[in-house]
Amino acid sequence: MTETLESAEADLEAIDDEAEHDLERIRSLKQTYDQSQALLDVLTSASVDDLDDLVERLRRD
């Protein structure tokens, strides 16, 4: 019985570690999505002339 409980405990600890890793990945993906959404909001609200000027400046650098 002790071995079974120890095995179950080890399994749960492994699952907990995996869940923590998955949660970190989800948070990272959410942060990337939020940043992408902010960039898209800026780009869609900018005028074509402003975007053209930005592209020209980036090409010079």
Q: What are 32-56's pLDDT values in tens digits? A: 999 999 999 999 999 999 999 999 9
Query: Does residue 61 have a pLDDT over 80?
Result: no
pLDDT at 57: 94
Q: Which residue has the tokens 């998955």?
A: 22
Query: pLDDT of 5-37, one tens digit each?
Result: 888 888 888 888 888 889 899 999 999 999 999
* Residue 37 domain boundaries: 2-60
Instruction: Count the domains in the chain.
Output: 1
Q: What is the pTM of this model?
A: 0.62
Which residue has better confidence, 4 or 36? 36
SS3 label, residue 47: coil
